[in-house]
Amino acid sequence: MVLRYWEPTARLDRADTEFDRIVTRFFGTAPRAADGIAPAADVIADGNDVVISVELPGLSPADIDIEVAPRRLTISGERNATEVAEGQRVLARGRRHGRFRTDFRLPAGVAADNVKANYEHGVLTVRVHEVTKPAPEPVKIAVEGGESASVKAVDAE
């Protein structure tokens, strides 16, 4: 029997590239990630709302930060690597870990107080309702199903 190394992320990298191409085609920009780690995401228009669903398995709502700025929504956090007990060794790591940050371009006139977030079964769902005037002060967005995620509203200047 021959033991060969399997690269499970090769197909995921191709899927990420294809997803970015499709999002760019329809929305003019693709979600961008810092440090090369981008969680899988869907962006859906629902009437005047934009619904963003991001896969973040293994995290708690307290591990997720959501920041709303003029024409931008940023989701960031950190996923830690699985602990390895003494006497064990890692043969392969297929799950990504480390800091992540994903930016989404928003329509003009979105206010932080019209952004709602829900985290359930490892999926963060952010619903952004379009309004005409951005919020001038930071607003905390409650994440249902657990603790609140940290959210900041940032002025354009």
Are the CB atoms for 138 and 54 separated by under 8 Å?
no
Segment 77-86 long-range contacts (CB within 8 Å, at least 24 positions apart) = 79/37
Residues present in the chain in total: 157
- Asked if the model's pLDDT at residue 60 lies above 70, the reply is yes
Using CB atoms within 10 A of its CB, is residue 146 exposed (0-12), middle (13-18) or buried (19+)? Answer: middle
- Asked if the model's pLDDT at residue 89 lies above 80, the reply is yes
Threshold 0.85, pTM exceeds: no
Q: What is the pLDDT of residues 3-49, one digit of tens each?
A: 666 666 666 667 777 777 776 666 555 444 444 567 889 988 888 78
Cα–Cα separations (whole angstroms), residue 42 to 1, 72, 96, 134: 41, 16, 19, 24
